[in-house]
Structure 1
Amino acid sequence: MQKQKVDPGFERMIGGYGLTTAQILYRMPDHPTFLQSFSWQFEDVAPDYPRLHRFLDHWKREVEAAIHSVRVSHSRLIKPAEVRFARELGWLQ
């Protein structure tokens, strides 16, 4: 019998990864009065966001634009199921 392989994306979801959206507002040195926006969607783990932090560290080292603010939203892709008891059905008895 052949052993089935688990999809790596599914393993990440079980491990806590979820869809993360980051909106970065920044200023370029040649136009400091204008706020510009960069949006990015990726998989990351809340609440530490290691991938986002690596990206922001890279930005600070390599990009001349100064970050004004970062807005983050996150949604786990696999969540506990919500079960609600609506009503008892008479035909189940």
Structure 2
Amino acid sequence: MTDSAFIARLDGYGLTTAEIHYHRPDAPSLLQLFVWQQYDLAPGFPVLFDFLDHWRREIRAAVHSVRIVHDRLLRPAEWRAVDGVFKIR
């Protein structure tokens, strides 16, 4: 069985982290922080925007700002060519 997160990354999804700063209705002078993480597609971020739409509809807290970090690509491990031959006796 293959990990669904790995399959999503092969399809172009990357791990997206969003810091959502918001004001609670009972304490509007305080700025709160909510961290959200999910696999999403950059640069459109459809999963994140669906979540933010849900937030606007269902949660009474007003969003102040959103900071997004996204790991775009599934990359191979770093490697370097070695110039020379090593003999093991």
On whether the aligned pair clears a TM of 0.5, the verdict is yes
* 2:58 matches 1:62: yes
What is the deviation of 1:86?
Answer: 4.4
| CA RMSD of superposed structures (Å) | 2.1
Tell me which of 9, 15, 33 is aligned to 1:13. Answer: 9
What is the deviation of 1:46?
Answer: 1.0
Pairs aligned (count): 86
Distance of 1:59 and 1:46 partners within structure 2: 20
Residue identity in the other structure for 2:83: R
Q: Structure 1 residue runs of 4+, over 4 Å off?
A: 80-83
What is the deviation of 1:82?
Answer: 4.5
Secondary structure at 1:61's aligned position in 2? helix
Provide Cα deviations, 1:15-37, integer angstroms capped at 9, x if missing partner: 11111111100001221110000
* Structure 1 unaligned regions, length at least 5: 1-5
Which has the larger displacement, 74-83 or 13-22?
A: 74-83
Distance of 1:64 and 1:42 partners within structure 2: 22
Residue identity in the other structure for 1:27: H
Q: Residues 26-45 of structure 1: matches in 2 within 5 Å? A: 26-45=22-41
Identity, % of aligned positions? 50
What is the deviation of 1:8?
Answer: 6.1
Residue identity in the other structure for 1:17: Y
* 2:78 matches 1:85: no
